Amino acid sequence: MSKDPYVYDDTNVLKNISNIKEQHKLDDYETTMVNLGIIKLLKSKVEISKVNDIFLIHKILFENVYEWAGEKRVINIFKTEPILNGLSVTYSDHNKINDDLTKIQKDINSTEWKVLSKNEMINKIVRIISSIWQVHSFREGNTRVVTLFLYYFLKNLGFKVNREFIDKHAKYFRNALVLASIGEYSEYNYLEEILKDSISFKIVDDEFNIKYQTIKGYNLDKYEYNYHSSKNDD
- Superfamily of domain covering 73-230: Fido-like domain (1.10.3290.10)
Distance CA 86, CA 150 (A): 27
For the chain (length 234 residues), average pLDDT per consecutive 10?
Answer: 85 97 97 97 95 98 98 97 96 98 98 95 97 98 97 94 90 97 96 91 62 93 91 66
Backbone angles phi and psi of 215, in degrees to 5: -140, 120
Tell me the angle at which helices 189-198 and 170-179 cross, rounded to the nearest 10 degrees: 140
CB burial class (10 A; 0-12, 13-18, 19+) of residue 37? Answer: buried
User: Domain residue spans in the chain?
Assistant: 73-230
Q: What is the pLDDT of residue 208?
A: 64
